[in-house]
Amino acid sequence: MALLKKKVDAPGLPEVLPTHIGFIMDGNGRWAKKRGLPRGYGHVEGGKAFKRIMKYCKEIGIPYLSFYVFSTENWKRSEQEIQGILKLMTEYLDEVQSHLDEGIRYVAIGDISAFPDYISTRMQKLMDDTKDCDELTILFCCNYGGRHEITHAAREIAELAARGELSPEDITEDTVAQHLYTAEFPDVDLVIRPSGELRLSNFLIWQCAYAEYYFTNVLWPDFSTEDLDKALIDFAGRGRRFGGA
C-alpha cells in the first residue's frame, strides 16, 4: 500500500509517489515575525499554503493527506492566538461546506469535543456529508496528540478486557491500530516538516513509525508546489526496507 503509480503525466515528478503524506504545517509565526506582523497573519498565509498544497496533491493523485492543524500542546498559546486560529478554522469549514468537492472526504482526528460547539458541530457535519467520497481523504489533526491518541486507544482496549470481551494475550499491534483514530487509513509514508525544526512534535507517532522524513527550512506559508516536488523526488530515492535486509 506504500507506493502509488503517478496519476498524471507531470514531467519532473517521480514515477512512484507516497500514498499518505503527513504535513506538519510549521513556521507561520516566524513568517509573520519576519515581516513585523502579528502571528495571526502567519496563520492566514498558512491557510493559503494548505489550500495550494491540498489542491496540487489532489491533481497528482495522492489519496491520503494528513495536516497537523492544532496540537494538544497548542492550548499553551495566548488566548488571542488561539481565538484567531479558531476563527480561521470556522471560516475554512464554512467555505468547504459551501463548495463540497465530490471526491474529497474530510476526517477530523483528535479530541474535537474540546473545541467550542460551533467548531465541533461544523467538523462533524463536514465528516458526515463527505463520508462516501473516496478520491482523496484529508485528515485534519485537530486538538491532536499522538500520546493522547495512544492513551485513548489503551483505555478502550482496557474497557473491553475489563468486560471480559478481550483477553490480554489477544491484544496485538493490529488491536492497537484498530483503536486509533486512523483505524481505517494507511500508515504515513512521508512526513514533511517545514520551518527548520527537526522533530515530530507528537504528530501521528504510531502511524509514522516507518515513515520517511523530509525537513526543509522553508516556512509553511512559503511552501510551494515546487517545494513539494523536491520532497517527492527525495522520497522516491529513499530505500525503504522496513527492517528487511
Q: Based on the residue annotation, tell me whether 227 is a catalytic residue of this protein.
A: no
18 vs 22, beta carbon nearer ligand IPE: 22
Answer for which of 17, 18, 21, 27 binds ligand IPE (CB under 6 A) is: 27
41 vs 185, beta carbon nearer Mg ion: 41
26 vs 187, beta carbon nearer Mg ion: 26
- Per-residue interface string for the shown chain with Mg ion, residues 4-43, x marking contact by CB under 5 A: ----------------------x-----------------
Question: Which residue is catalytic, options 9, 28, 74, 187?
Answer: 74
Closest CB to ligand IPE belongs to which residue? 29
Asked if residue 212 binds Mg ion (CB under 5 A), the reply is no
Measured distance CA(26)–CA(192) in Å, rounded: 10
Asked if residue 68 binds ligand IPE (CB under 6 A), the reply is yes
Residue 92: all three cell numbers together: 475554512
Find out whether 22 and 190 touch, Cβ atoms under 8 Å: yes
CA distances from 132 to 102, 107, 135, 137 (A): 9, 11, 10, 10
CA distances from 160 to 144, 171, 175, 180, 184 (A): 24, 11, 11, 15, 20
Phi, psi of 107 (to 5 degrees): -135, 125
Q: Based on the residue annotation, tell me whether 187 is a catalytic residue of this protein.
A: no
Nearest CA to 206 among 146, 141, 143, 151?
146
Contacts with ligand IPE by CB under 6 A lie at: 24-30, 68-71, 74, 85, 195, 197, 199, 201
